[in-house]
Amino acid sequence: MRTPDIQCKPNHPEPPGPALWLPVFGPFVRFIWMVVLTATVLSEVVPIPPMSLTLFCSYCAAKAVLFLAAGYLTPLAFWRCDHRGFIVVAACSCMFEIVQTFISHGHAFHWYEMILKVVLILVGFAAALEARDEQRILDGPIRIQLASPLFARLPRA
């Protein structure tokens, strides 16, 4: 008696289309990280002029995206940046919150702002560590394969 062949299908099918390649741990990603970090710092220390509520909400959303991006790009820019790297990035965020008290006139230090910034960085950082572990970024129809010769150093499971 012959048993039927059972094919296992993955729970999450691969998105269609060719994968894009992103060289990580190199000068390109470090440059993007530096641009995002500079924009984040400037958004924290440069005083903003009075603006409408809609524009202010857009400004705050852009700052939130910058903090997420700073957290996300850090483990992709630096090979040796593991979970301990989060402490460095979070400490920088705390430092910026404290520094802006002295630079931006009229802006006071707020614990809730600092905690929110650290949480945004942590979320981005954790997502990037997951992508780094899988060596790919998957989001809907977009598939980005992370490429680096340093991945050869990782032990295979």
**Whether pLDDT at 11 is above 50:** no
Any domain includes 37: yes
Q: Left, alpha or beta for 140 (phi > 0: left; psi -120 to 50: alpha)? A: left
Please, are residues 73 and 36 in contact by the beta-carbon 8 Å criterion? yes
Any domain includes 128: yes
The percentage of residues in the chain with a pLDDT greater than 90, rounded to a whole number, is 16
Q: Which of 146, 31, 47, 61 is nearest to 105 (CA)?
A: 47
Any domain includes 84: yes
Any domain includes 3: no
**Whether pLDDT at 64 is above 80:** yes
Any domain includes 120: yes
pLDDT in tens, 122-151: 899 888 888 888 878 876 677 777 777 776
Q: How confident is the model at residue 25 (pLDDT cuts 50, 70, 90)?
A: confident
Any domain includes 7: no
Any domain includes 156: no
Range of the domain at 72: 20-44+52-148
Task: Give the mean pLDDT of the chain.
Answer: 76
The whole-number pLDDT of residue 5 equals 47
Higher pLDDT, 98 or 111: 111
**Whether pLDDT at 1 is above 80:** no
Separation of alpha carbons 127 and 139, rounded Å: 12
**103 three-state secondary structure:** helix
Please, are residues 67 and 119 in contact by the beta-carbon 8 Å criterion? no
Token code pair at residue 35: 């641009």
Q: How confident is the model at residue 66 (pLDDT cuts 50, 70, 90)?
A: very high
Residue 59: CB atoms within 10 A of its CB come to 13
Any domain includes 126: yes
What total number of domains does the chain contain?
Answer: 1
